[in-house]
Amino acid sequence: MTIDLDADLDRMSHPDLLSAARAMRRAIRSHRDTSGHELCWHHPDLWSLLPDTPTGGQIVPQWPQFMRGCIRYRQSLDKQLAQAPRSDREFGE
C-alpha cells in the first residue's frame, strides 16, 4: 500500500496553497542563505513545514562517522563553492 504524503494539498484552498508555498520558499531561502558554521546545522524549521514526520525519526551517526561526513561535506563545498570567500571565524564568535 502506498501512502500519498501530499494528499493534504488536494484539500487546500488556493489561498492556503499560496500561503504554504510562500512559507516553504521563505524556509528554503533561509536554509540556502546560511553561511559559515550555520551550514552544518540541523534545520527543524524547514522540515516542520511538512505535515508528516520521518518514520522512526532521525538517526544520529556516532562521532567518528559524523566527523568523516563533516569533512566530506566541507570538501564538497570546495568543489561546489570554489569561488566563495573563506572565513577563519571560530564557532560561537
Residue 39's φ and ψ, nearest 5 degrees, are -60, -25
Res 57: pLDDT: 78
Res 17: pLDDT: 96
CB-based contacts of 73, cutoff 8 Å, min separation 6 = 40
Res 26: pLDDT: 94
Res 1: pLDDT: 64
Q: Is 57 left (phi over 0), alpha (psi -120 to 50) or beta?
A: left
Res 16: pLDDT: 97
The string of pLDDT tens digits covering residues 25-53 is: 999 999 889 998 888 888 888 888 998 88
Res 43: pLDDT: 83
| Residue 90: CA count within 13 A, CB half-sphere | 2
